[in-house]
Structure 1
Amino acid sequence: MNDYLSSFVNWSHSEILNGLALIPIIFCLFKSWDIRAKLNLKFRRYSNIQLIVLLVAVFFAAWYSFFHSYVYIASTFSQLFWNWDFSEIIPTERAVLWSLGAILFEEGFRYLLIIVLLEAFKGQRGQIELTIFLSALFFGLIHYAGLLDQGPIFIISTQAIFAFGYGCFLATLYLYSGKFWLVLLSHFSLDLIAFSLSAGGGGILSWYDNNDLLSNGLSMVFALAMTLIMFLGKQRKIMQENAARLINA
């Protein structure tokens, strides 16, 4: 009975049901607003430089999934960036369900925001930048819903800071690759690692006080830096073309 109740609690506390409910809502909104959008684009032909940028972005997403979690518990500077103890990752039912709920609800919400913003700024200068910035801003602000559960506003604010930076990167990755499943995979792996770590906080950054602020702030800086890198050269043109393909299905 305890096992059954534990599973029920894990299901109810995840965002899986909310995420599933969001799917028909998005469908109905797009239909009523006459939006014909795609979720994924067919793989396009990239130049060598553009392909390298895409591969670097995918590699960064994989690295970032570990970095964001281990930055809290790293006892040395090398452990901040690469020297991670993978034995501390112990996946549980709760970790899997909560991670699935996150990609269903939060990424469904992100997709809705990106498409609506692309439509709203269609034909306007700065369409890509405004879509990425505002979708990430909304993604960060929804974390303040935690105040309804009496969450500490300082902790929630640090989470919002990270979510904004990570949201910029995920939106850029989506517009550059045209593959929403890459966004889902990146977010799922990040949350799964975070929920599966057996060790707590108190890493090297805690020596400087405000471990949450420093950790989430560092995560935001790296995500924003990668976002800017993906705008170098002619990469913005790729995003602009993919944006047009996404909302002109």
Structure 2
Amino acid sequence: MRFLHSVTGQGVIAALALLIIACFLGKAWGCHFNPNLKFIKSRNFQISTFILLLAFATLDLFYNAFSVTDKQIWTAFFYFSSDIQAKYFTLPSLTSAIEPGILEETERYLMILIFLTGFKYARKWRLPITVYASGILFGLSHAGNVGWNGETFSATIAQVIGVMGSGFLWAVLYLYTGKLWLPMLYHFLMDYLANLQSGWNSAGWTFSGYASDYIQEILMVGVPLVFTIWMMYGKRRAVIEENVDRLLNLKDSKFINKKVSRN
């Protein structure tokens, strides 16, 4: 009973319901029904790029979960603290991290479908518009956290800006792999590690106004931004475009036609 109360009270059931609805909405819009695209080995796919993408997603996870700053500038680069406490290994800490992992990544999936559909035939611009517009909206969706368990306005603004970097990165992670569960997993881990250090009902973000805080913000947005721009070129971009065509069910995709002819 306690488990069911936590699952329903923390919104996990609602998150799963939205995921199911999102799949049917995508189908109604003419897109691929399953957000977990089957892996097709493209000649453009490079395992080194895939490993590097996972490495940057893990680095972003580590930095967001464990970076600590104070008034000393060097702490923005080199000071990390893993203050995981046994008292926070609770059911609410778990379910409150599962909920945004599913819910917010489902919202990202819907935003990606909307932007890709809206710019379906603008092949040059549809990908950057989708990645960065959905990332910005992901950041703005956290603006409602102001006042949440004492989170200040300045801390909320910092959170809105800071999580945009993760939004860019997770959008590319999904579009490169076709696997929505991957960004869901990273999102869950980021929130769960935060919960294990400060509790699930604590203020989600802090900002003291030191120079190190501003540097940390720049790093949180700048590093994922530079990396995702790099992903927009060459064979990396080609793999993403192939997945976009499959996601949108564009039957005129050269990649899809080649696969069909081989079969």
TM band (smaller chain): 0.7 to 0.9
Q: Alignment partner of 2:133: what SS?
A: helix
Give the letter aligned to residue 173 of structure 1: L
Give the letter aligned to residue 187 of structure 2: H
Give the letter aligned to residue 237 of structure 2: R
- In 2, Cα distance between equivalents of 1:108 and 1:117: 14
**Aligned counterpart, 1:218:** 219
**Aligned counterpart, 2:67:** 71
State which of 26, 34, 38 in structure 2 corresponds to 1:38: 34
Structure 1 residues 29-108: aligned runs within 5 Å: 29-45=25-41, 50-72=46-68, 80=77, 86=82, 88=84, 90=86, 91-108=89-106
Measured after TM superposition, the shift of residue 98 of structure 1 is 1.1
Measured after TM superposition, the shift of residue 34 of structure 1 is 4.2
Q: Alignment partner of 1:99: what SS?
A: helix
Structure 1 range deviating more: 34-43 or 103-112: 34-43
Measured after TM superposition, the shift of residue 48 of structure 1 is 8.9
Measured after TM superposition, the shift of residue 244 of structure 1 is 0.5
Q: Flag the structure with higher helix content.
A: 1
Q: Which runs of 5+ in 1 are unaligned?
A: none
Answer 1 or 2: higher relative contact order, Cα 8 Å, separation at least 6. 1
Structure 1 range deviating more: 135-144 or 28-37: 28-37
- In 2, Cα distance between equivalents of 1:134 and 1:111: 12
TM-score by length of 2: 0.75
**Aligned counterpart, 2:185:** 185
- In 1, Cα distance between equivalents of 2:41 and 2:221: 31
TM-score by length of 1: 0.79
Q: Alignment partner of 1:234: what SS?
A: helix
Q: Sort the Cα spacing of 1:39 and 1:240 in 2 relative to 1 into closer, same or farther, 3 A.
A: same
Q: Sort the Cα spacing of 1:11 and 1:79 in 2 relative to 1 into closer, same or farther, 3 A.
A: farther
Q: Does 1:171 align with 2:167?
A: no
- In 2, Cα distance between equivalents of 1:55 and 1:134: 25
- In 2, Cα distance between equivalents of 1:99 and 1:87: 17
Measured after TM superposition, the shift of residue 158 of structure 1 is 0.9
Measured after TM superposition, the shift of residue 178 of structure 1 is 1.3
Q: Alignment partner of 1:228: what SS?
A: helix
Is the Cα contact below 8 Å between 1:37 and 1:248 reproduced in 2? no
**Aligned counterpart, 1:126:** 125
Identical aligned pairs, as a percentage?
28
CA RMSD of aligned residues (A): 3.6
Is the Cα contact below 8 Å between 2:69 and 2:75 reproduced in 1? no
Is the Cα contact below 8 Å between 1:161 and 1:216 reproduced in 2? yes
Measured after TM superposition, the shift of residue 144 of structure 1 is 1.5
Q: Which runs of 5+ in 2 are unaligned?
A: 251-263
Q: Sort the Cα spacing of 1:155 and 1:65 in 2 relative to 1 into closer, same or farther, 3 A.
A: same
Q: Alignment partner of 2:46: what SS?
A: helix
**Aligned counterpart, 1:158:** 158
State which of 105, 110, 113 in structure 1 corresponds to 2:111: 113
Deviations 1:152-189 (A, max 9, x none): 33221111112211111000111111111211111111
Q: Sort the Cα spacing of 1:118 and 1:141 in 2 relative to 1 into closer, same or farther, 3 A.
A: same
Measured after TM superposition, the shift of residue 76 of structure 1 is 10
**Aligned counterpart, 2:18:** 22
Structure 1 range deviating more: 221-230 or 129-138: 221-230
Is the Cα contact below 8 Å between 1:173 and 1:183 reproduced in 2? yes
Q: Sort the Cα spacing of 1:8 and 1:216 in 2 relative to 1 into closer, same or farther, 3 A.
A: farther
Is the Cα contact below 8 Å between 2:112 and 2:134 reproduced in 1? yes
Is the Cα contact below 8 Å between 2:74 and 2:212 reproduced in 1? no
Q: Sort the Cα spacing of 1:110 and 1:96 in 2 relative to 1 into closer, same or farther, 3 A.
A: same
Number of aligned residue pairs: 240
- In 2, Cα distance between equivalents of 1:161 and 1:221: 11
Q: Sort the Cα spacing of 1:58 and 1:89 in 2 relative to 1 into closer, same or farther, 3 A.
A: farther
- In 2, Cα distance between equivalents of 1:146 and 1:58: 29
**Aligned counterpart, 1:142:** 141
Is the Cα contact below 8 Å between 2:145 and 2:151 reproduced in 1? yes
Measured after TM superposition, the shift of residue 190 of structure 1 is 1.2
